Structure 1
């Protein structure tokens, strides 16, 4: 009887240890991580149309911006909880539910006319985005050892830049058919759901050859350092991203198409930054942060001091190179510092810290602009902050530096 049982094949769903993730799984996860980006950028081109459509609402000045930013607020606040659930309940099932919910909630405003109802659907969308952003990056750490992981994180950064540009363009085209048009983009979640369902699986926890595995406690101190560095760098990351169009306008570029073209040229720096990370990916996080802060200092000081549009574009491109390098470097650092049992909640904390930085950045610029007498002065000041931070990081003794990854 035992011999017969030993010859029986294992059920396919249980035989995951023989399965190894490859390029297909990585590309599916890369495109899954673009869904939260779509949640913000797809609506940016139609903000004037939304104001025209809902401008008569008594609270329109508050509610329309909230419609745009609600998902990002949810990501900032709920990502740690999403990570905790991923560690407790499993990755794949949670991600599949979130992607399916993303498609439903994201597309719902296409049929809604009430502004409050639309905003409610956007908050529901943000809950799904917090899960997607956290779990997809967690799976990147579960599926791949350091070498391929670094490569795919660089690809993810480059794809993010290209998809951001494409989403702005397509969102503008769909907006020409009415304010509901861009919500059609959320239907892309359903083919991604199908790909995740067919080609991914729940990762098997395995013993990794790293000192971080076997720790019984969550690495509070290490994650505190990672979250603090992430929050600080995210504030600087979004200075150029959110303020560059205003700088172009102050320099005399008033046509929206021209501003978009100038921004697109500067945005070419992001894939260059991803390539730079790939070249330096085996270096520790200290080297990555030094490089990013150097690029931010040059780019922001140059942007604030620019006297013409070409110089502003060049400075913005330098800052964007730093942007393209920063995100894969930080995610790589985070993933390499966590064992499988804590990877979800660690990535959740990282994601929350990054999006809190996104929220803080424009307020920081506004306060500095009021204190220093203008936007340009505020941007130069934050470039100076980058320079000071660069010097501090550079002077950290080597014996207290943390590596970007272990061998996990």
Structure 2
């Protein structure tokens, strides 16, 4: 039950990222007379991700100082309040401000949920829930897009009511979750293994770029190849998402091999997929590349967080998880800019993705030598369930 609740809680940042996507054009029309509407409306969608990246390290440090459970519950309630607030607002600027606070809450939610998974479980069970975390978030993205469209059909404001589900989850979490940290750490700076943590953090930054490349750009690739049917584009995107879920789900079966073996495989699959997309002259070939790359990125995320958690003692696991989360979301935020820059230099979007694929091949080799073998010493500090 604890694992399921933490997986559902991990979906809240995904809800914030995709729920409003179907109603952005309607919002733009409603606020057409607002100065800067062309910039402000997209910010409604992107501002939370920026604040997740900025606040996650702080969220992790706070979780280590005051504990995880109560911090998570307050963040869930605040997330619901700020998430639903735009329903009552007539100012686009005010809505963007509330979205920034939604991002702050998401930082605390994601960091606390991932940290508690590391606290409650270890070894095989932890691998299971970390793989399911990526599966849940990937599948929930498709579900939230559908729900956002259905709610938005009755008016763009209606979509904001969906954020109220966080209060329901918080009410269930209250009696079920428990606080694993009995003596919160006071001197975090000395306790955090910064040198060991810096390696997965840097690799995760690139991993975040790779993970979100097709999430953002696959529809453009298909359009460039002549596919104009929006429904078919949606189906192709769903197929890539399914491959991501399969890749993530496989981690529960192969997680015992360790990050130093799995990360080269994950980056290798991603590299092959991106290079295939680069050379694709037809939609089937491009989708074959997308499936390879998506399976690789699905395996990539749980492998990265396992690596990060493996170097963290329990008393500073929140701080380390927050830094890892920040690296991932910074990668998400800068992904469109990186791909656009590579595409401009290489002569097109597909070429830019191909260059990123070559970089992923390099990262496959780098990760083999930097991830190292599984460390058993920290297991004594981990709570078991």
- TM bucket (normalised to shorter chain) is over 0.9
User: What is the CA–CA distance in structure 2 between the aligned matches of 1:180 and 1:365, rounded to whole Å?
Assistant: 33
Q: For the Cα contact (< 8 Å) 2:260–2:373, is it kept in 1? A: yes
1:192 aligns with 2:169: yes
Alignment counterpart, residue 292 of structure 1, candidates 266, 283, 288: 266
1:153 aligns with 2:127: no
User: What is the CA–CA distance in structure 2 between the aligned matches of 1:193 and 1:229, rounded to whole Å?
Assistant: 33
Alignment counterpart, residue 77 of structure 2, candidates 84, 100, 114: 100
User: What is the CA–CA distance in structure 2 between the aligned matches of 1:109 and 1:401, rounded to whole Å?
Assistant: 44
Structure 2 equivalent of residue 304 of structure 1: 278
Q: For the Cα contact (< 8 Å) 1:240–1:300, is it kept in 2? A: no
Tell me the CA shift for residue 217 of structure 1: 2.7
1:50 aligns with 2:17: no
Does the C-alpha gap of structure 1 residues 150 and 299 become closer, same or farther in structure 2, counting only changes over 3 Å? Answer: same
The superposition leaves residues 138-160 of structure 1 with CA deviations (integer Å, 9 ceiling, x where unpaired) of 11111112221111111111111
- Name which one, 1 or 2, has greater alpha-carbon Rg: 1
User: What is the CA–CA distance in structure 2 between the aligned matches of 1:344 and 1:204, rounded to whole Å?
Assistant: 10
Alignment counterpart, residue 41 of structure 1, candidates 11, 18, 27: 18
Q: For the Cα contact (< 8 Å) 2:267–2:300, is it kept in 1? A: no
User: What is the CA–CA distance in structure 2 between the aligned matches of 1:273 and 1:302, rounded to whole Å?
Assistant: 18
Structure 1 equivalent of residue 66 of structure 2: 89
Tell me the CA shift for residue 276 of structure 1: 2.2
TM-score by length of 1: 0.88
Tell me the CA shift for residue 279 of structure 1: 1.9
| Partner secondary structure for residue 355 of structure 2 | helix
Alignment counterpart, residue 243 of structure 1, candidates 217, 220, 229: 217
Structure 1 equivalent of residue 313 of structure 2: 339
Alignment map for 1:9-408 (pairs within 5 Å): 24-205=1-182, 217-394=191-368, 396=369, 401-404=371-374, 406=376, 407=379, 408=382
User: What is the CA–CA distance in structure 2 between the aligned matches of 1:276 and 1:83, rounded to whole Å?
Assistant: 28
Q: For the Cα contact (< 8 Å) 2:269–2:293, is it kept in 1? A: yes
User: What is the CA–CA distance in structure 2 between the aligned matches of 1:55 and 1:146, rounded to whole Å?
Assistant: 53
Q: For the Cα contact (< 8 Å) 1:239–1:362, is it kept in 2? A: yes
Tell me the CA shift for residue 203 of structure 1: 1.1
Structure 2's unaligned 5+ residue stretches are 184-188
Q: For the Cα contact (< 8 Å) 1:332–1:405, is it kept in 2? A: no
Structure 1's unaligned 5+ residue stretches are 1-23, 207-214
User: What is the CA–CA distance in structure 1 between the aligned matches of 2:352 and 2:257, rounded to whole Å?
Assistant: 32
User: What is the CA–CA distance in structure 1 between the aligned matches of 2:373 and 2:28, rounded to whole Å?
Assistant: 48
Tell me the matched-pair count: 373
TM-score by length of 2: 0.93
Q: For the Cα contact (< 8 Å) 1:146–1:405, is it kept in 2? A: no
User: What is the CA–CA distance in structure 1 between the aligned matches of 2:278 and 2:238, rounded to whole Å?
Assistant: 19
